[in-house]
């Protein structure tokens, strides 16, 4: 939990100072809404609810069945603008396309702001700072990123973790979901999973015998932003105003702390790691 706290604190204190990031299943068409519907208008957020503690299915569900830091932030953004938040849950890889197609108005998915993604969409001001870390078995001899060179590495497809491992020049296997990568590790089918810090903390807390190894020299700081379709400055301004307010009045800090300490076990009793 220590790392999470540190990263969150870092993110919340320094998030305004933008340092540019380095390395950076079937689609559910159902849309779930929550918020102040009386004022009219809906902001449909695309997400991939496979990324605890930012978005997952279960818990108390702040927007329909969807819960997590991002879901709470999305709901507040809608409320700040007298609108209702709706969630369209889909694969991570489909999110930016869905934005370009007009299927969703915005994407909130623990998404790291990268130069490559900025070519396709516009990003809000950053709202959270993270980094890639390595999850290994407790008895692993991996102590730094270069120790992965001759190991079996697993990442989630399309995440910045994949880009980082590619940049390091190591071979790896990519899976569709974070929960699948953890199963591989738990079952001894790989040696290390490279994934975002706060999500790694959740997985390690929920699964016995795992630990996190950090290597800030190998993995640069990343910042999460909300994406909108290129040129949608009206919505981007609304989102930015709301995020800036929530950063300065401590709302995002409080939301993050709540979820980082919370249990993300699903309603059906299965842990988020075994879904």
Task: Mark the segment that binds ligand GLN (CB under 6 A) among 38-46, 108-116, 204-212, 237-245.
Answer: 108-116
Distances (CA, A) of 254 to 47, 78, 113, 130, 248: 21, 18, 23, 17, 11
Closest distance between ligand GLN and the C-beta of residue 207, in Å?
A: 18
Closest distance between ligand GLN and the C-beta of residue 43, in Å?
A: 19
Q: Does 109 bind ligand GLN (CB under 6 A)?
A: yes
Q: Does 160 bind ligand GLN (CB under 6 A)?
A: yes
* Residue 35 vs 52, nearer CB to ligand GLN: 52
Nearest partner of 33 among 79, 102, 91, judged by Cα: 79
Per-residue b or e along 210-242, where b marks 16 or more CB atoms closer than 10 Å to that residue's CB: bebbbbeebbbbbbbbbbbbeebeebbebbbeb
Closest distance between ligand GLN and the C-beta of residue 125, in Å?
A: 16
Q: Which residue is nearest to ligand GLN (CB)?
A: 112
Q: Does 196 bind ligand GLN (CB under 6 A)?
A: yes
Residue from the set 62, 72, 111, 218 that interacts with ligand GLN by CB under 6 A: 111
The torsion angle over the Cα atoms of residues 90, 95, 98 and 100, rounded to 10 degrees, is 180
Residue from the set 48, 88, 256, 271 that interacts with ligand GLN by CB under 6 A: 48
Do residues 176 and 156 lie in contact, with contact meaning Cβ atoms separated by under 8 Å?
A: yes
Do residues 92 and 27 lie in contact, with contact meaning Cβ atoms separated by under 8 Å?
A: no
Task: Mark the segment that binds ligand GLN (CB under 6 A) among 76-84, 105-113, 133-141, 255-263.
Answer: 105-113
Cβ-Cβ contacts under 8 Å for 64 (sequence gap 6 or more): 32, 33, 34, 87
User: Footprint of ligand GLN on this chain (CB under 6 A)?
Assistant: 48, 51, 92, 109-112, 159-160, 196
């Amino acid at each position: 939990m220590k790392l999470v706290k540190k990263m969150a604190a870092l993110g919340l204190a320094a998030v305004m100072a933008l340092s540019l990031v380095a390395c950076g299943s079937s689609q559910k068409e159902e849309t779930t809404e929550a918020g102040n519907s009386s004022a009219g208008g809906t902001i449909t957020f695309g997400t991939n609810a496979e990324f605890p503690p930012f978005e997952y299915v279960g818990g108390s569900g702040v927007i329909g069945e969807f819960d997590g830091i991002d879901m709470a932030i999305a709901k507040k953004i809608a409320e700040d603008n007298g609108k209702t938040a709706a969630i369209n849950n889909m694969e991570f890889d489909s999110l930016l396309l869905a934005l370009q197609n007009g299927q969703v108005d915005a994407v909130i998915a623990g998404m790291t702001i990268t130069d490559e993604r900025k070519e396709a969409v516009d990003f809000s001001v950053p709202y959270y700072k993270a980094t890639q870390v390595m999850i290994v078995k407790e008895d692993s001899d991996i102590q730094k990123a270069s120790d992965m060179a001759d190991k079996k590495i697993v990442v989630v497809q399309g995440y910045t973790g994949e880009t980082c491992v590619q940049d390091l020049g190591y071979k790896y296997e990519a899976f569709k979901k974070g929960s699948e990568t953890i199963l591989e590790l738990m079952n001894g089918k790989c040696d290390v999973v490279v994934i975002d810090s706060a999500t790694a903390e959740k997985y390690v807390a929920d699964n016995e015998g795992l630990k996190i190894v950090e290597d800030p020299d190998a993995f640069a700081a990343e910042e999460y932003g909300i994406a909108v379709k290129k040129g949608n400055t009206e919505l981007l301004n609304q989102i930015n105003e709301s995020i800036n307010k929530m950063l300065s009045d401590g709302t995002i800090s409080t939301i993050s702390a709540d979820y980082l300490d919370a249990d993300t076990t699903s309603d059906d009793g299965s842990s988020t790691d075994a879904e």
